[in-house]
Amino acid sequence: MTTEIKLFNKWSFDELKITDEGLVQYITIKPQLVPKSGGQHAKKQFHKSKVNIVERLVNKLFVAGHKGKKHKFSSGTNVGKSFMIMKGIEDAFIKIEENTKENPIQVLITAIENSAPMEEVVTYQRGGSFARNAVITSPQRRIDLALKHIAQGTYQTTTKAKKTLAQALSEQIIGTSKNDTNLLSIREKQRREKEAAGAR
């Protein structure tokens, strides 16, 4: 008899659903007890799609990235021990389960699907001038942007309201899964797609 592997020994990876067909091959939900693979995919190009989606959230929370031209959420201000980030995610998932009565991994997947932009704008030089053109965003980049904006929204909340990581992250994930337009993750998706529509 085999024992089921659950995230943090609490949440099952069975019966999870990815409704966005374009992201099915890029959201990995392979059972994992602890979301830490030791960087075994780090030197393989595009192999981050093989990393468990919860581990990718852990990695993104280490360095949330730029916000505009400011390095407000960049490296050096929010890095720490893996254990601290994973503990924050575990506590956030407990809050998500209490509020939604659903598997928090499924809520995270829904949040990523809702905040992953379909289109964006690229700028390129044509002669002596710059032109803007709408392009379809690749599935890998869609997930990267979704995780980035969830992480940035989380840190933005903890900076302004002095909330704990667990509180801010749980609110971001739940709100994004419900398409709350007040959140950074949903606003950024809408902004990028609106820009793309105007550049066609």
Q: Which of the four pLDDT bands, split at 50, 70 and 90, describes residue 2?
A: low
Region 147-173: mean pLDDT is: 87
pLDDT exceeds 60 at position 130: yes
Q: What are phi and psi of 70, to 5 degrees?
A: -100, 145
Higher per-residue pLDDT: 198 or 175: 175
pLDDT digits (tens, 9 = 90+) for 115-124: 999 998 888 7
Name the residue among 56, 51, 61 with its Cα closest to residue 30.
Answer: 51
Long-range contacts of 137-143 (CB under 8 A, 24+ apart): 137/192, 139/22, 139/23, 139/25, 139/26, 140/26, 140/46, 140/48, 140/49, 142/22, 142/23, 142/26, 142/116, 142/117, 142/118, 143/23, 143/26, 143/27, 143/49, 143/53, 143/56, 143/112, 143/116
**Coil, helix or strand at residue 99:** helix
pLDDT exceeds 60 at position 76: no
Give the domain ranges of the chain: 6-198
CB 176 within 8 A of CB 114: yes
Give the separation between CA 143 and CA 120, rounded to whole angstroms: 14
CA dihedral 108, 50, 142, 161 (to 10 degrees): 40
Q: Is 6-198 CATH 3.40.50.10260?
A: no
Region 15-27: mean pLDDT is: 91
At position 54, the amino acid (one-letter code) is V
Region 77-103: mean pLDDT is: 86
pLDDT digits (tens, 9 = 90+) for 27-58: 988 888 888 877 766 677 777 788 889 999 99
- What are the distances in angstroms from CA 9 to CA 87, 101, 120? 13, 18, 39
Q: Which of the four pLDDT bands, split at 50, 70 and 90, describes residue 80?
A: low
